[in-house]
Amino acid sequence: MKINNFGPSGINPYKRELNKIENVKGTAKSASDKIEISSTAKEMQQSSQIPAQRQAKVDELRMQVENGTYKLNPRDTAKSIVDFYFKK
């Protein structure tokens, strides 16, 4: 039984795919991405610093969690979740 080749003979499809990948890598090296942050965005980052009072509360809560002394009120938590999803 004779099987005839279909399509172009002598071309390895895997080699062709490898060549495509190498070509893409070669073009990616020549181009470089660049990002610029506007002065307005920089000002917004500086003004959004956490106030000292809030940071103190966060630090206190973190210490309570790490020490195992933080007590969670399940009723308040459940009420907050329900209020969040069903508020009108």
Spell out the per-residue pLDDT of the chain, length 88, in tens. Answer: 666 666 666 667 677 777 888 877 766 555 677 888 898 888 887 766 677 888 899 999 999 999 999 999 999 999 999 999 998 6
Closest to 71 measured CA to CA, from 79, 81, 80, 61 = 61
Q: 64 and 70 in contact (C-beta within 8 Å)? A: yes
Distance CA 80, CA 34 (A): 43
Q: 56 and 48 in contact (C-beta within 8 Å)? A: no
